[in-house]
Structure 1
Amino acid sequence: MAQHYLVCGTEDCKRNCQFYCNPCHQRLCERCRDEHQESPDTKDHEVVPYKQRKPQLPEEKCNLHPKRNVEILCKECNVPLCAKCIFMKEHTGHQLDDLEEKYAEKVAFCRSEILKIQEYYLPTSQGLKKEIKEDVMTIKKTMDDIRNSIKAEADSLKELVDKVTSDKLEEANKIEETLLKTLNSQEKTYEDYTEYLEKLLKEFHSYKSIDNIRVLFSEDFENLKIQSIPETTQPVLPEFTAGHFDKDEVSKLLGSVNFPNTKPDNRRIKPMENASTQLKLTGKQTRRGVEESDVKPTLSLSSSVTKVREYTVPGVDRVYHISSGKSGKLWFSDCDGNLVQTDLKGNQVQKIQTSGGSQGYHTVTQDGDLIYTDRKNKVINRIKQNNTVTEFIKTGDWEPISIHSSHINGDILVGTRKDGEAKVIRYNKSGEEIQNIQRDDKGHELYSDPHYITENINGDICTSDFNKQAVVVVNKSGEHGFSYTGQGSTFFPYGICSDLLGHIIVCNGFPGNKSLDIIDQDGQFLSLLLTSQQWIHPCGLCVDDENNLHVGQYITTTVTVYKYLQ
């Protein structure tokens, strides 16, 4: 549903609409409301704040009386009637209601249900969807840890098996050594006996051939006797008794993978707590709902956009980019390299000449310094609060065209181009390169002309890419989340910013389809804040500390401030 800047409905009055006359169905400013209530003809009319207005009953002709409009509801038949129908006999005695009142109740119910869907059911279900993705990553990590534990158990068991094997082999070696020692001793016994027999054999030979027979009857001869063969024992050979184990026993040794004896918890869905109070996130969204400390019943997307004020920027010929600094001071740039800072009253504080073009080439750091890209020299310069300009980062062969300083951690995101290629480079606060984002997980180029860049409250990098005609969003790890290509047939994204509710606001500068599109942090289209029917030419954007949206245009130096949150 397109949103718009409301003006008073009184003829020739162009002031902001704040009130509504329900009987007249007329928008009123504060002055016209007073005149309306002072007029004798309308002093009894119900005049309410615009947001509490009753919708006007659409004109619809009666089926039975085509020249009359339906304006009454038969409660018992639940059908709309014209004033003539109530006299028909089928409705005689039936209770009748003002159709406009019932229509207002139905519209109020629809608004309430839309609000519940937009501000509770959709964010909650999308949060649970994100939670499931995180659970997938957790499961993968858990299973990797389990697999590593199984391998560690197996390695430990292998080491133990190797140790036991070594001990048993050593035991076998000792048994072998003992047996061989015994056999060697037995072998020595028979060697000594053999030597004895050979000596005895020689003596018998000597007695056989002697001449003196008396020697054969001597005591020495009588003592010659063959000693019996020594007895030895045969070795008892050891046997190997195989171990008794099977696959199940080994499996037990290696542990097991089991689910704990616990009933799984249902995913916790935060109670709606009356969606009509319009609870909104003012901080980060977490798994399983919203952090209690981040819930404030203060801000939500308004049903209409209110023009707060306008101001003219000195020193530029149009407004292509806006950077919000400390104490409400703002920086503005045009397409000719003019970079101007103004104070709270819109007075020019300083002006410098740069090589920037029609891109988001400047940003304010957490410290309050301005940093801006120098495409010609391929560097990023810093302007400190004492107005000194220093060279901060060199980008090498890559031409820096857009830049954003993170409000989360102070990192610096730079959109760059080189030889028809493009990428986003992340630097830390010290200017050291820490990340390169160029392709998605399938190797496709993510960017072509990243000429505006910002960061969402959850750390997503949101890039306005003119050539791709899309807003390209990646998470802080560089993984592609989604690409938003607008609501019309052609989408030429320019300035882009994000607010504290996670909304992404982008300018569509295509002629004939000029608009301010607002999407949520998951890429879901929410609404058109402004449309081409309101004669805007949006280009540069920023949200200030009071949640007001500053919109600069590419045909004028006028910046319009809108309130779009309530």
Structure 2
Amino acid sequence: MQERLHTLDDMEDSNEVSPTINYSSKNQEFSMLPPKVHVLMPKFIPKPIEKEELCSLIGKHFPLSTTLEERVLPAKKPNTSVRELLEEPEVLNTIKTGHEGLLSVTCFNEEEIWTSRETAEIKCFNTQGVLQKTIKTKSGIRPDDIAVYSDGALVYSDASTRTVYKVKNDQTEEIIRLQGWTPIQLCVTSSGDLLVTMFSDDYTQSKVVRYSGSTVKQTIQFGDDGQPLYSGNAYPKYITENRNLDICLADWKAGAVVVVNRAGKLEFKYTGQSPSTKKEPFNPIGITTDSQGRILMSDYHNHCIHVLDVDGHFLQCINHCDMNYPVGLCVDKYDNLFVCDNRKSVRKLKYSK
């Protein structure tokens, strides 16, 4: 089209006649419009989807799954330097507290012990018998038991208020308050948990509950056969943790020491079957363990201490140290045994080499 317009312009400006004569019009040609384009949009026709075939092509998706794996601190191994039992244990010292009705004793360190008795006062003495400190319970009622954390904080149970208190830097804090149950004896474990023995309001059930702070971590009450592990009543049930993480409980009313493993499975029961046991019924009350994993328990009516190995086999009966109705027990890191009785004193005994 543009070329044809240039040709016409040239003819108009030219004086020659022949181009004009020979010119042939192209109007007819240029009057034809370009063809109209019809665009058809693409169309998708779906077919039925076979789900099984699709899964086989692209695989499967599984939802997020989580599981809880119990983590247990490795058990402390018994001291590699074996400390054999003495044939004749000896009294190293007698700490005269001046107070009757001693119930519990716990080692704060190798130089100091805490004691509790039939009053609201909890007292700390050094091993020479000098009073270091006195704490009074908030309720004014005697504590049922005492224990000490590794940082020196003292805990005590108060059955009258169904409460466990923690005392640190002269500040008393309520850490556990129960409903329907009453706390009695206590034990601080190697991992820093607190074991609490307790009985139900109707005096028909007893159990052990493990706490981390104020949070329940574990409850131990029944054996694999569904029967109670402990007698259901308000009688004392002193408790301790062994170096292999077994939980050892002296069940006074049942006349037995009940030992379960870390998971709460029954390991054995000891009912005082030994040639050294005297004629009175076996009623264990205080209980502790030493660096060798040995279990020591006070036999209240027979005025002696039974010593078992870690598997519950009888080893010895300590009955030569002028004990009178022994109750609370504890062992320091040197395996010295502290025994409190009803004669206002705590005896420090050497029973192993």
Quote the residue 1:303 is aligned against: 87
Determine if contact 1:469/1:492 at 8 Å carries over to the other structure.
Answer: yes
Q: Give runs of aligned pairs for residues 268-307 of structure 1, distance below 5 A.
A: 283-284=76-77, 295-296=80-81, 298-307=82-91
**C-alpha spacing 1:484/1:337, structure 2 compared with 1 (3 Å):** farther
Alignment of 1:10-409 (within 5 A): 283-284=76-77, 295-296=80-81, 298-314=82-98, 316-326=99-109, 328-348=111-131, 349-353=133-137, 355-356=141-142, 359=144, 361-384=145-168, 386-406=169-189, 408-409=190-191
C-alpha deviation, 1:391, in angstroms: 1.0
The structure number with the bigger radius of gyration is 1
Q: Is the 8 A contact 1:312 1:557 kept in 2?
A: yes
Three-state SS of the structure 2 residue aligned to 1:537 is coil
CA distance in 2, matches of 1:519, 1:485: 12
Q: Report the secondary structure of 2:328's partner residue.
A: strand
CA contact 1:416–1:450 (8 Å) conserved in 2? no
Q: 1:519: Cα distance to partner?
A: 0.6
Per-residue CA deviation, residues 345-372 of structure 1 (Å, 9 max, x unaligned), is 3222214145346x5x110012110000
Q: Given that residues 356 and 373 in structure 1 are in contact (C-alpha distance below 8 angstroms), is that contact kept between their aligned partners in structure 2? A: no
Corresponding letter in the other structure for 2:194 = I
- Aligned partner of residue 268 in structure 2, secondary structure: strand
Higher strand proportion, which one?
2
CA distance in 1, matches of 2:166, 2:102: 21
Partner-residue secondary structure (3-state), 2:150:
coil
Task: State the 1:545 CA deviation.
Answer: 2.8
TM-score between both structures, scaled by the size of structure 1: 0.45
Shift in Å, 1:327: 5.7
Q: Deviations over 1:198-243 (max 9, x none)?
A: xxxxxxxxxxxxxxxxxxxxxxxxxxxxxxxxxxxxxxxxxxxxxx
Contact 1:473 1:481 (C-alpha < 8 Å) held by counterparts: yes
Given that 1:325 and 1:364 are in contact with CA atoms closer than 8 Å, whether structure 2 keeps it comes out as yes
- Give the letter for the 1:412 counterpart: L
Unaligned runs of 5+ in 2: 1-51, 58-74
Q: What residue number does 2:226 align with?
A: 443
Which residue is equivalent to 1:480?
Answer: 266
Cα contact 2:121–2:134 (8 A) shared by 1: no
1:458 corresponding residue in structure 2: 244
Separation in structure 1 between the aligned mates of residue 142 and residue 249 of structure 2, nearest angstrom: 17
Q: Distance in 2 between matches of 1:387 and 1:507?
A: 32
Q: Is the 8 A contact 1:283 1:500 kept in 2?
A: no
Higher helix share: 1
**Aligned partners of 1:342 and 1:499: how far apart in 2?**
21
Q: Distance in 2 between matches of 1:339 and 1:442?
A: 40
Q: CA deviation at 1:526?
A: 0.7
Asked if the contact 1:423/1:436 (under 8 Å) is kept, the reply is yes
The alpha-carbon deviation at position 344 of structure 1 amounts to 4.3
TM-score (norm 2): 0.71
Distance apart, 1:336 and its partner CA: 3.5
- Is the 2:167–2:173 Cα contact (8 Å) retained in structure 1? yes
Counterpart for residue 111 of structure 1:
none
Separation in 2, partners of 1:564, 1:503: 12
Distance 1:534-1:329 versus aligned 2 partners, 3 A rule = closer
State the structure with bigger RCO (CA 8 A, min sep 6), 1 or 2.
2
Q: 1:509 to 1:412 in 2, by over 3 A?
A: same
Displacement of 1:479 in angstroms is: 0.7
Match of 1:441, SS state, is coil
CA contact (8 A) 2:110 2:332 kept: no
Counterpart AA for 1:543: V
Alignment size in residue pairs = 272
Deviations 1:419-455 (A, max 9, x none): 2211000001x22111111111111111124521111
- Establish whether residue 536 from structure 1 lines up as the match of residue 318 from structure 2: no
* 2:198 equivalent in structure 1: 416
Structure-2 separation of matches of 1:344 and 1:309: 8
Unaligned runs of 5+ in 1: 1-161, 168-281, 286-293
Q: 1:434 to 1:496 in 2, by over 3 A?
A: same
* 8 Å CA contact 1:329, 1:342 repeated in 2: yes
Residue in structure 2 matched with residue 468 of structure 1 by the alignment: 254
Distance (Å, rounded) in 2 between the aligned partners of 1:387 and 1:550: 26
SS at match of 1:459: coil
Q: CA deviation at 1:283?
A: 4.8
Following superposition, which runs of at least 4 residues in structure 1 exceed 4 angstroms of deviation? none
8 A contact 1:342–1:350 mirrored in 2: no
- Structure 1 vs Structure 2 CA RMSD: 2.5
1:303 Cα deviation after fit: 2.4
1:472 maps to a residue whose letter is V
Q: Which amino acid aligns with 2:171?
A: T
Amino acid at match of 1:308: L
Aligned residues of 2:323 and 2:341 also touching (Cα < 8 A)? no
Rounded to whole Å, the distance in 1 between the matches of 2:198 and 2:108 is 24
Shift, 1:561, TM fit:
1.2
Deviations 1:99-147 (A, max 9, x none): xxxxxxxxxxxxxxxxxxxxxxxxxxxxxxxxxxxxxxxxxxxxxxxxx
Aligned to 1:539, the other structure's residue is in SS state coil
Give SS of 1:417's match.
strand
- Does structure 1 residue 503 correspond to structure 2 residue 294? yes
Partner of 2:285: 494
Distance 2:269 2:142 in 1: 26
Q: In 2, Cα distance between the equivalents of 1:327 and 1:471?
A: 27
